[in-house]
Amino acid sequence: MDYRKKFEEWLDGEHFDALTKEELNKIINDEKEIEDRFYQDLYFGTGGLRGVIGAGTNRINKYTVARATKGLANYIIKQGEKEPSVVIAHDSRHFSKEFAQEAAGVLLSSGIKVYLFEDLRPTPELSFAVRETKSTAGIVITASHNPPEYNGYKVYWKDGGQVVSPVAEELMEEINNIKDFSNIKCLDGCPLDSFENLHFIGEEMDKAYFDKVKSLSLNPQVIKEAADLKIVYTPLHGSGNMPVRRVLKEMGFENVQVVPEQEKPDGSFPTVEYPNPEEEKSFNLALELAKELDADLILATDPDCDRVGVMVKRNKGKYFKLSGNQTGVLLGHYIMDSLKTKGLLKQDSFIIDTIVTGRMTEKIAKSYGIETVSTLTGFKYIAQQIKEQEDEGSKHFLFGFEESYGYLAGNFVRDKDAVIASLLISEMVAFYKRKGMTLYDVLIALYETYGYHREELFSIVRRGKEGAQAIGSIMEHMRNNPPKSLAGIKIWEIRDYMSYEGPIKLPKDNVLYFILEDGSWFAMRPSGTEPKLKVYIGVLDSSLEASQNKLKRLMDDMKTLLQSDRVI
């Protein structure tokens, strides 16, 4: 069915409400906008369904949410469980609560028990709740760190991790089989209190989750000795305010100041361009407060509180923003070193990173005799490796992270967790402060020991159908006509993850990974959640200045290559 026919079905169909038709009537003469809204259905990427809020098959709205949920209900029923159940959570984005209630209605009307959080909660607590309630699946309504016009729909399976192959493909097939909205009950919502198999969850689940988070503390005594450590925290208008502050307070941190302008949930995210702690601009208000208070640490979490960004005091009045890789290096080292000092580091332990993270943590882990498992981008693949290596094997999971500010310790959550990470980062700052060191000092010391690793990411943004085609063309050109060198350094190996077979079995993925003769590397992949081509570059050299200069040369040459006529 072509996009124009789909548009007309939505415009004239009896199952679509007046507000939807009013929105579509406003674009009736805008052919390009109609095409963008209807040329495809939203698809599962690294973060499930995600799109701009609005009417259309290529948008997130109550109809696409209901369709996805009906597909999930059909899939669950086919699994043959006697009493299937699903946990549902949502963040602070526009329509998140409404979409969560829509999903609940569709599941309940399909005969599936629903555990619905009473109010917004962080994504990692949803993962925990799926495991805690022994549910079949979980749904969280969020678009993570995307701009305010976005929302999304993540699906989790019974292990608490996001769905991966083959469940993801089988689920999408069920969703694609739904052609007629008339078969979806509660399409426009229905009174949830009329269902006996609806259970609201809240404080009791919170307490169970927070107790588990606090149990991960490695050196709780240092918190008591540094209870007045000055921490500035911003939830960036999202769901992190209550859980992060509560955990820090219950652990003993007595001087946590929240950024007042960003404290309350607000799906418009009025104080930031978009609520991504990867962006330095998102720290502007927190940085002002930190300078005023002479804070030791600044933490910023994204709307669904699964990512955390960090700024640390470098010296009085000056702060340094850690990259996702640098925070991962520091946390990984802190965890392994603390456990070794206590005699608790098991040699069957392993850490997990992704193929596009820096390689420094792998070096550190090797020095402690710990294995590193590298998987595809997306924390669902890290969760999959925890399941395969620990649940179904005999190994002990220590720590997992990805360069995009996602971190996890413990085995009770199967997604990145900014509540856990915020606690461990705060404790780590207190630990080293007692030794007279800032985290920046520790990072430099690690560089001196393991080499000066530097990484950078840049993106090429291409929107709409034409943009998706352009990104595909760039990938195909680089796949079929790869460069022989970059910045004068010969390319030694090329890994195409559509066909590459490494030390662990990975699904096929549209990722190209290039290893240079000097050990530097770069990788490229289309984003699964945004209209972007992401390019990652990593270098290693003997000094901070040398690594920065090399990184700049590679970045400049890569941008020139990708902007040339023969590629675009």
For the annotated catalytic residues, the residue numbers are 144
Maximal C-alpha separation, the chain: 70
- Cβ-contact 155, 162 below 8 angstroms: yes
- Is the separation of the CB atoms in 231 and 248 below 8 Å? yes
Q: How far apart are alpha carbons 189 and 105 in whole angstroms?
A: 6
**E strands within 91-174?**
113-117, 137-141, 150-157
The gap from C-alpha 20 to its chain's centroid, in whole angstroms, comes to 30
- Find the Cα–Cα–Cα–Cα dihedral 24, 25, 26, 32, rounded to 10°: 60
Query: How far apart (Å, rounded) are the C-alpha atoms in residues 237 and 300?
Result: 10
Is 101 within 8 Å of 193 (Cβ atoms)? no
Instruction: Answer whether 231's CB lies under 8 Å from 296's CB.
Output: yes
464: left (phi over 0), alpha (psi -120 to 50) or beta: left
Amino acid (1-letter code) at residue 383? A
Residue 556 is encoded by which pair of tokens? 């400049």
Q: What torsion do the CA atoms of 289, 436, 219, 362 make, to the nearest 10 degrees?
A: 90
Q: Provide the H-helix boundaries in 79-151.
A: 96-109, 123-132
Instruction: Show the tokens assigned to 333.
Output: 């080292």
Q: What letter represents residue 80's amino acid?
A: G
Q: Which two tokens stand for residue 215?
A: 């149990």
Nearest-angstrom CA–CA distance, 397 and 336: 11
d(CA 94, CA 364) in angstroms, rounded, equals 42
Catalogue the E-assigned strands of 249-307.
256-258, 297-301
Yes or no: say if 536 and 523 are a contact pair by the CB < 8 Å rule: yes
What is the SS3 assignment for 47?
coil
Query: What are the residues facing 86 on neighbouring strands?
Result: 114, 137
